[in-house]
């Protein structure tokens, strides 16, 4: 479960630190990491030496300036969230429904809501930045799932066997594969489930080498789904996703 070997563990701890609080204690980190305190301590010494973490007031640690510098360098090259924002705003203006950007994390095999522009409608979903999206359900998840490498799809399907909202068993492997194939052909994932009053359309976003980065989607109560000219919506969503993919490709060339 927990990584073994100094290098593996350093990478593991870095992720925990980046996603953790701005100040943390040794013991607390050891607990989150599920590692012996002395081992975490030794690795923190390494990170201190390289500036990736620093000491704070009292006896606390914090992400270091070198880590922030490293992050800035990467984000300066291309910031998916920032680039997506105007596209999301356009979608909301056009359809008056909530538009979101999801980013996919291959290591955790999870999709996370990264950016979001809300609909003006008072009835909307309580999605929030940082919220997790289940890959096998909903348009957002499936827009990503459909474009994962085959082996990864298998793994995701094994891990998530029941739905997060409905709790009911998912469709069979075969049905699902057919649905994903359809998504690959059309270039967007549609979802419509009156039972839980949710609907949406999402398009995949790719990186410079056509690896999947996430998706752009528009979600709404299923009641409002029919009101839209569905093909217009699908066209616009696919267009936005493709534009974003192009921007990612250009910035990495």
Q: Which spans of this chain sit near DNA (rule: CB under 7 A)?
A: 4-9, 25-28, 30, 35-39, 41-46, 58-59
- Quickly list H helices, 99-229: 138-145, 150-159, 173-186, 222-225
Helix, strand, or coil (residue 133): strand
Indicate the DSSP class of residue 122.
Answer: S
Residue 246 engages a copy of itself in binding (rule: CB under 8 A) = no
Residue 14 engages a copy of itself in binding (rule: CB under 8 A) = yes
Window of 25-33, 73-81, 168-176, 189-197 that interacts with a copy of itself by CB under 8 A: 73-81
Residue 54 engages a copy of itself in binding (rule: CB under 8 A) = yes
Report the residue from 38, 72, 162, 166 that binds a copy of itself according to the rule CB under 8 A.
72
Q: How far apart are CA 39 and CA 30, in angstroms?
A: 8
Collect all residues with Cβ–Cβ distance below 8 Å to 29 and sequence separation of at least 6.
13, 16, 17, 20, 40, 44, 61
User: Please, which of residues 105-164 interact with a copy of itself by CB under 8 A?
Assistant: 105-107, 112, 114
User: Please, which of residues 174-213 interact with a copy of itself by CB under 8 A?
Assistant: 207-209, 211, 213
Minimum CB separation of residue 17 from DNA in Å reads: 13
34 burial (CB, 10 Å; 0-12 / 13-18 / 19+) is: exposed
Helix, strand, or coil (residue 99): strand
Binding footprint of a copy of itself, residue count (CB under 8 A): 58
Window of 53-61, 120-128, 215-223, 234-242 that interacts with a copy of itself by CB under 8 A: 53-61
């Amino acid at each position: 479960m927990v990584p073994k070997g100094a290098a593996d563990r350093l990478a593991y701890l870095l992720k925990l630190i980046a996603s953790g609080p701005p100040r943390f204690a040794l013991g607390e980190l050891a607990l989150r990491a599920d590692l012996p305190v002395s081992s975490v301590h030794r690795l923190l010494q390494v990170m201190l030496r390289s500036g990736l973490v620093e000491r704070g007031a009292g006896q606390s640690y914090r992400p270091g300036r070198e880590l922030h510098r490293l992050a800035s360098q990467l984000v300066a090259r291309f910031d998916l969230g920032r680039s997506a924002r105007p596209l999301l705003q356009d979608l909301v203006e056009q359809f008056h429904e909530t538009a979101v950007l999801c980013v996919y994390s291959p290591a955790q095999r999870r999709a996370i809501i990264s950016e979001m522009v809300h609909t003006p409608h008072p009835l909307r979903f309580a999605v929030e930045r940082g919220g997790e999206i289940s890959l096998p359900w909903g348009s957002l998840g499936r827009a990503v799932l459909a474009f994962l490498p085959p082996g990864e799809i298998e793994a995701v399907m094994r891990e998530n066997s029941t739905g997060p909202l409905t709790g009911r068993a998912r469709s069979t492997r075969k049905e699902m594969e057919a649905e994903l194939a359809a998504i690959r052909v059309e270039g967007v994932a549609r979802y419509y489930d009156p039972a839980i009053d949710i609907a949406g359309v999402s398009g995949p976003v790719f990186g410079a080498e056509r690896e999947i980065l996430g998706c752009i989607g528009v979600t709404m109560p299923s009641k409002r789904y029919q009101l839209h000219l569905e093909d217009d919506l699908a066209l616009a969503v696919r267009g936005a996703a493709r534009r974003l993919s192009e921007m990612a490709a250009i910035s990495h060339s």
